Amino acid sequence: MEIITHTSNHQTVAEIKGEAIYLKGIEDGMDLIGNSYYQGYDLVILHARNITPAFFDLSTQLAGEILQKFVNYRMRVAIIGDWTGITSKSLRDFIRESNAGRQVYFTGSIDHALEKLTQ
């Protein structure tokens, strides 16, 4: 796992990159929150390719449980991926509702993630 630091609007953002799946369950989410906070970040960018596919199957409730941890610990997060081909209405609705808030964003680019997280 590689952490790339971005600075935008005088705030630092951790981008988690790599080839593996780093977010497989709630414990991984808690580890990510704890490690990010310990390193001085409270804004995090994740890539969809580094998250287990079960996260995006809302029937598993994994997305809600993990993202609720981010909200509880006041750590804002953006998830970058290609959301245009989603066929699940519930996932499309979940993404739309998340994007309407201020804690969790689903976006297609680093630039947009930085803009949303640091506004």
Question: Is-contact 1 20, C-beta < 8 A?
Answer: yes
User: Residue 112's pLDDT is what?
Assistant: 96
How many angstroms separate the CA atoms of 54 and 49, rounded? 12
* Strand partners for 106: 79
User: Residue 1's pLDDT is what?
Assistant: 86
Across the chain, mean pLDDT equals 95
* Strand partners for 45: 15, 78
3-state secondary structure of 83: coil
pLDDT digits (tens, 9 = 90+) for 41-97: 999 999 999 999 999 999 999 999 999 999 999 999 999 999 998 999 999 999 999
Question: Is-contact 23 32, C-beta < 8 A?
Answer: yes
Element (H, E) at 29: helix 26-38
